[in-house]
Amino acid sequence: MSLPQPETVGPAATAPALRVVHDAVEVDLPRAEAAAADLLTALGLDIRTEGLARTPARMAAAFAEMFQPRAFDLTTFPIDEGYDELVLAHSLPVHSVCEHHLLPFVGVAHVGYLPGARILGLSKLARVVELFARRPQVQERLTRQVADWLHENLSPRGVGVVVEAEHMCMTVRGVQAVGATTVTSALLGQLREDAATRAEFFSLAARSPRRGLGGHLG
């Protein structure tokens, strides 16, 4: 991904503005469509039927979309009233694709941090999750990448990320463990080093409305 140097904006030039974009990748949709048609044909499907005639084009467009995160502006704000407690965004959507089978895995991420000098616009936490989710991934790497990125770009006193997801490569094929979820976590700074802060983060993350998460955290 391309991360330009921050530029100051506004009359007082106090708020850093950072345009965050994924590495530019040239997508050849006609070639992808032809490859999808070959794959479906090789699997014994007749793409001349009405139902499958446009499927190769839809497949190509769908994967192109899933592999390209949207650009966003990283906006931060000064801390008012000296706030220095944990900030946690709950149940941020995770939509990614397993790099081993190219099947989706979906779930939620709980992302928290202890502010340093500035706080981040809350919607940007969801954008950071998307930044690393929209590509062939493994959940463990995704979790750590989100934590590392926030640590490097926001300079907080600590970061915590929990991801819970259901993997289609595990539920619709192979073992077919329908309903099984995988939970991963990454902790940096004070959230890793201080037991009380770490416990507070996991306690807040465990309040997710998603069934079963509380049983995985502690």
For the segment 54-73, what is each residue's pLDDT rounded down to a tens digit? 999 999 999 999 998 888 88
- Evaluate if residue 23 carries a pLDDT over 50: yes
3-state secondary structure of 202: helix
Give the start-to-end residue ranges of the domains of the chain. Answer: 29-66, 76-209
100, 140, 152, 193: the catalytic one is 100
Q: Is 22 a catalytic residue?
A: no
What architecture does CATH give domain 76-209?
2-Layer Sandwich (3.30)
95, 101, 151, 216: the catalytic one is 101
Q: How confident is the model at residue 24 (pLDDT cuts 50, 70, 90)?
A: low
Q: Is 99 a catalytic residue?
A: yes
Q: How many CB atoms neighbour CB 11 within 10 A?
A: 5
CA distance 54 to 172: 24
98, 130, 137, 190: the catalytic one is 98
- E strands along the chain, which residues? 7-9, 15-20, 72-78, 87-98, 104-114, 118-120, 136-137, 158-167, 182-189
Pick the more confident residue, 92 or 8.
92
68, 90, 151, 169: the catalytic one is 169
Determine contact, residues 61/67, Cβ cutoff 8 Å: no
Structure tokens at 172: 């619709």
pLDDT at 42: 98
Q: Is 98 a catalytic residue?
A: yes
When mean pLDDT is compared across 1-15, 40-54, 145-159, 162-176, the lowest value belongs to 1-15
pLDDT at 207: 79
Structure tokens at 204: 């807040």
pLDDT at 166: 94
7, 99, 152, 193: the catalytic one is 99
Structure tokens at 207: 């309040």
Arithmetic mean of pLDDT, 75-99: 89
Amino acid at 153: N
Q: How confident is the model at residue 77 (pLDDT cuts 50, 70, 90)?
A: confident
Euclidean distance between the first and the last CA atom of the chain, given in angstroms as a whole number: 34
Mean pLDDT for all residues in the chain: 85
pTM flag (> 0.95): no
Query: DSSP letter at 5?
Result: P
139, 145, 190, 200: the catalytic one is 139
Query: DSSP letter at 2?
Result: B
Q: Is 137 a catalytic residue?
A: no
Structure tokens at 122: 């809350």
pLDDT at 20: 65
3-state secondary structure of 67: coil
Taking only the tens place, the pLDDT of each residue in 155-213 is 999 999 999 999 988 888 888 888 889 999 999 999 999 999 999 999 999 875 554 44
Q: Is 101 a catalytic residue?
A: yes
pLDDT at 131: 93
- Evaluate if residue 98 carries a pLDDT over 70: yes
